[in-house]
Amino acid sequence: MAYGGYTYFDAKYEPAKDDFIVLIWAKGTAPIEKIAEGIASESSVGTWTKLKTMNQFVWEHLRARVFKIHNVGKNAGFIWIAYPYEHFDSKNIMQFCASVMGNIFGLKELEELYVCDIKFPLKYQKQFPGPKAGMEGVRRYVGTEKSRRPHTGTIPKPKVGLNPKEFAHVAYESWIGGLDFVKDDENLVDQKFCPFKERFHEVVNAAERVEKETGRKVLYSPNISDRYDRMMDRMDYVKAHGWPMVMMDVYLMGFSVLPMALEQAHRYNLFTHAHRAGYAAAHRGNYGANFVIYEKYYRMLGVDQLHIGTGVGKMEGGPLLIKRLHQVADEKKGPAKMYLGMLDFEWAPHIKPIFSVSSGGMDAGKVEASVALHGRDVVVQAGGGIHGHPLGTRGGAASMRQAVDAVAKGISLPAYAKTHKELKMALDKFGYVSPKAVLKELADEKKNCKKMDAEVLRQGRGGMEKYS
């Protein structure tokens, strides 16, 4: 079924090694075959009508090819599209997004359009640096490369409103209580009530005090997110004062500012903590893109820590989706099959693993379930679950560290709480989330993955949402 005078569907096409593969869910007012043709045309070399300017080179070498369609009803289905490597600009993720995640969302025939996943060829990945330090670099700094225990972190609360001394006091109490990491929240940068430079100095002084008192290395990520020149001024300031970490609101920064900011952070040997605020606007509803795609961009560009969701906390994202996001964050290769509406993946050898951050509605009672899902290579981060503890911030921090220590020793939280009062008080207030439900879901997925994949193919986007 041609679109604009050309046909982009080729069921016999075998994707080349260097092709990009894009998996899309679409539903609309036209047959899914016509929708697929329109998406391939609009995202590559075509338009709504036949062109006098089309030539053989463009058609043969640069067009997108729909090589598979799985119908879920007459006007809906999954679409697999292969794009040739030469179609895309070098080192230009913005141009890539403008092609495969751009105008296609405006096609009037569409009622639903969701970009499920993208498989990036190794040749493309080699253009990007990947993390400078990555998970292992952060572990070496903190001193957990041998113990392999999860890291613990927090965000001083209230999110905004504390002055620099108040903020630093909360950070100090958090570290003294046993945490490894403190971060600014996504909406705190340089407000008058808490200026960036003043807050930075107060918190760094608190961190240095903790290190002298305990002998432990701790981390703080000041949020530098802003227009590019202000970000660079703040990064220069952090580097000039010898601090090793910054935070960026990576999704909101976009793919114009982010690559330059990360290149500078790499030159300065700064760890980068990546917050994903805003991504859900392009993920929830009838139109959007799976976060797994952005996660791949961020790992290629080189963040060191990245929020990926908890699977057990307050933010959307079920255990099986979060499991895949964690795999993409720190594994080299995924299973060679479609996985609940997502593609297999393979990372270029130089792309280091990043540290997954499990954050959003966390408290000590959820740590065991979170680690059952993520494994030990995770930063378990809590805000209200620490600062809302009956004993305050220090007690809440102690409860989180005790929970992590219990998991590292293979002891259940209720059993460990019998001899650790801060943990017991946290469980009494916030409750205990047993890992049994998570472990059962993971076991069921392992046992029934073929049936689950078939269900996704049968139900479409609704089937994906069931498992995500």
Enumerate the β-bridge partners of residue 167. Answer: none
Write down the residue that tokens 């046909």 correspond to.
7
What is the spatial distance between Cα 460 and Cα 270, in angstroms, rounded to a whole number? 42
- Please choose, from the candidates 191, 171, 93, 179, the residue with its C-alpha nearest in 3D space to the C-alpha of residue 142: 179
What is the spatial distance between Cα 101 and Cα 88, in angstroms, rounded to a whole number? 13
Half-sphere exposure of 428 (CA within 13 A, CB side): 12
- Please choose, from the candidates 408, 409, 426, the residue with its C-alpha nearest in 3D space to the C-alpha of residue 417: 426
- For the beta carbon of residue 154, count every other beta carbon within 10 angstroms: 30
**Sequence-ordered alpha helix ranges (H) in 183-336:** 196-214, 228-240, 250-267, 291-301, 319-330
239 carries an active-site annotation = no
Instruction: Classify burial at 224, counting beta carbons within 10 Å of its beta carbon; exposed 0-12, middle 13-18, buried 19 or more.
Output: buried
The catalytically annotated residue of 27, 132, 151, 157 is: 157
DSSP code at position 121: P
Phi then psi for residue 49, to 5 deg, are -140, 165
Q: Are 312 and 320 in contact (CB under 8 A)?
A: no
What is the spatial distance between Cα 391 and Cα 426, in angstroms, rounded to a whole number? 9
∠ CA(171), CA(173), CA(179), 5° rounding?
75
157 carries an active-site annotation = yes
The catalytically annotated residue of 275, 326, 352, 387 is: 275
Beta strand 287-289 with 110-119 is: parallel
**Catalytic residue IDs:** 157, 275
